[in-house]
A and B are shown apart, each in its own frame.
Chain A
Amino acid sequence: QVQLVESGGGVVQPGGSLRLSCVASGFTISDSGLHWVRQAPGKGLEWVAFIRYVENNKDYLDSVKGRFTISRDISKNTLFLQMNSLRVEDTAMYYCAKEEYRAFHYWGQGTLVTVSS
């Protein structure tokens, strides 16, 4: 069955970096669209980034463009989110999600990123 497991969250100072990972099982990530979605504490859901099928089909939320990079390692069936120049407003639970027919059918349990001095 499809499973997504995120890791890599933690506490980081403003301006710092983190790399999130999402290990996928039950499917091949090269055949799928994968997304990162975040949720600030007590707030709603916010789409962050996607990577679909071919490696250069990526896009980002405007507020993270130039700071975040989505990538994948097909050999490890793993999705990544490299987050640089982190801001307090990036504090959130980060989920990876698998897209099918433009809906997020499967979600991981999330990994918490806290940006604080």
Chain B
Amino acid sequence: DIQMTQSPSSVSASVGDRVTITCRASQGISSWLAWYQQKAGKAPKLLISVVSSLQSGVPSRFRGSGSGTEFNLTISGLQPEDFATYYCQQANSVPFTFGPGTKVDL
């Protein structure tokens, strides 16, 4: 199975800050890397698919990058509604593993 790790596990930030979350895969996953945002008590929401493809309606301050086994999610100009937990996920092979999550809070 492909293991996914994320760093940091949590980050304290302020409105307007730039935040970068790193996701690493235990082996190459081609471009099958997605990012999700989850707020308390809600279902996850897809932000970015295939490494860098921003989903419709997602603000452009969210950017995905990377290749091979290391990927980043950058939020430029953090907004109050961005305080949430973020998960990466690989879909290169079954089981489609998620990272452990990164909590972004004040």
A binds B: yes
A-side binding surface: helix, strand, loop or mixed?
strand
The complex places the Cα of A44 from the Cα of B32 at a distance, in Å, of 19
Binds B, one of A10-18, A74-82, A84-92, A98-106: A98-106
- Tell me how many residues of B have a C-beta within 8 Å of chain A: 23
Structural contact, B46 and A103, CB atoms closer than 8 A? yes
Contact A44 B34 (CB under 8 A): no
Q: A95 to B99: give the CA distance in the assembly, Å.
A: 17
Query: Chain B residues near A110 (CB, 8 Å)?
Result: 43
The secondary-structure label for the interface of chain B is: loop
Question: By the criterion CB–CB under 8 Å, are A105 and B43 in contact?
Answer: no
Given the complex of chains A and B, what is the CA–CA distance between A61 and B93 in angstroms?
Answer: 12
**Cβ of B8 under 8 Å from chain A:** no
Contact present for B101 and A103 (CB under 8 Å): no
- B68 contacts the other chain (CB 8 A): no
Given pairs A44-B98, A47-B95, 13 additional interface contacts (CB within 8 A): A45-B89, A47-B96, A50-B96, A95-B44, A101-B50, A103-B50, A103-B89, A104-B36, A104-B44, A107-B43, A107-B44, A107-B45, A109-B43
Q: Please report A residues at the B interface, Cβ cutoff 8 Å.
A: 35, 37, 44-47, 50, 59, 61-62, 95, 99-105, 107-110
Residues of B in contact with A (beta carbons under 8 Å apart): 1, 32, 34, 36, 38, 43-46, 49-50, 55, 87, 89, 91, 94-101
